[in-house]
Structures are given as structure tokens and as C-alpha cells.
Amino acid sequence: MTMRINRALAKLGYGSRRSVEELVRANKVKVNGAVVTDLATQVDPERDRITVAGMKVPRRASSPHVSAFYKPRGVLSTWKDERGRKCLADYFPARGSARAFAVGRLDRDSEGLLLITNDGDLAHRLMHPSFEVLRTYEVAVSPQPDPDTLKRLSGVTKLADGPVQPRDVRLRARKGAENAVVVTLTEGRNRVVRRMFTAHGFEVLRLRRVQFGGVSLGRLKPGENRQLSAAEVNRLRAQVIAQHRHPEKPAVL
């Protein structure tokens, strides 16, 4: 079924027709390898090869498979381990030889949200810092930070591999449970949240990622996973089409 390019992309979750028109005007949409400049261009999403900012558009909105997974503490964010430690394959035994990417790795001592997908391009863009996808963590630390310390944590912290500055830092008080510092940032360097707190003299007692790219951990318990809806996948994709860069892609885990 043919339709105008803006209608086709809107149906596939790339925003409203008006926002899609902006992508066309910015020369970021191609059909069968040719840049689209005319908003009246007719396409068949089932047959034509469409790309947005270099990213292939699936023929159906739900074609990429993305799952939200609560990685338990003590589990590696890899598919295998030569030392026999628990890893992702213990929770996804049917993966077999299919490609799978863990989006947003967590170190062994951390827990919380990982996204598991078969879409390598989507995984690459969600993880690369140039696309500034938000990640939110709840961090229990000792001692409990005071307002002045929270202000310092919100600023620039110098680390060995470069500075880090969160988008947001705030204290979440809980009745009958440990307080947590909620940290939101746009990068995923190795153990960067732990190292940031250590640089300010804190001991990290527990670190849990509760959100990635607008997807929340929700009611998942450690070891559980759920498949994202087509709407959730489309929202993830919409976050990473604004920029068109080509850093090296991550290796398949």
C-alpha cells in the first residue's frame, strides 16, 4: 500500500507528520538510496527500503525485538564467561546463535535495567554518548550526603578518563528503607557512577539502574524480563534519529 512519506514514517513511530516533515527538509530521509526532498513522495513501507539519518526503517513498527531485563546483582552483562560465573545466557537460554546485544552494560556488583535487542544499529545508537540517551540510577551510599555535597555531585567531577557531569542529582527519602541518591546522566563509561561517588569520598552500598531511554524498570523483579511494546520500541528509535554519526559499532556479545 503506497502513501506519502510523512504518513508512512508517522505510522512507523517516527513522530508526528510535522516532525517527520522536518526530517525530510533536513535531507535525512532516503528511499531506495535516494534522498527524499518532496513531501509528496509516495512509498510502500512493505517494499521500499527507507532510512532515516542512516538508520534502516523496519518494514513493520514492531519488527525489532527489545526486552527489558532486570539484571540481578552478581550477574555479568555478557553472554558467556570462561570462569563459569552467572551471565545473561543463564536467563536467555533460547538465544542460541541469534545476534543479541545488551544495551547499557552494568558491572557485576550493580543491578537493574538492561535492554536486550536483536537490532544492532539501535543498540549502537542507544549506547553511544553522542546521542545523549538518559540513564537514571538509584544509589545507596555511606555516609548520607548533605545538601552541599549533593550540589558538588551535580557539578563536574574529574575522573582519570575525563570529567563527568550528571544531568540531575537528588536525594530520594524512603520510609523504613535506605535513602537513595537518584542520578541521571547521558553516558555509560565503565563504572562511571561508582567512580563519581568514590571521588567524593562515598562508599557505594547499592547501585541500581531504574530507567534507560525512557524505559523504566517498573515492577520487574531480579531475573525477570518483559518484551517492550511496539510503541516503546518506536519511542526508543525516535530518540536516536536526530543525529547522523557513524562511530564504530559495538561487537556482538
Active-site positions read 107
143 prior amide bond cis, ω within 30:
yes
Q: Which residue has the cell 532516503?
A: 30
Q: In terms of DSSP bridges, do strands 111-117 and 203-212 run parallel, antiparallel, or are they unpaired? A: parallel
CB environment 123-162: b (16+ within 10 A), e (fewer): bbbbbbeebebebbbbbbbeeebeeebeeebeeebeeeee
Measure the CA–CA gap between 162 and 222, rounded to whole angstroms: 32
Measure the CA–CA gap between 24 and 57, rounded to whole angstroms: 14
Would you say 54 and 244 are in contact if contact means Cβ atoms under 8 Å apart?
yes
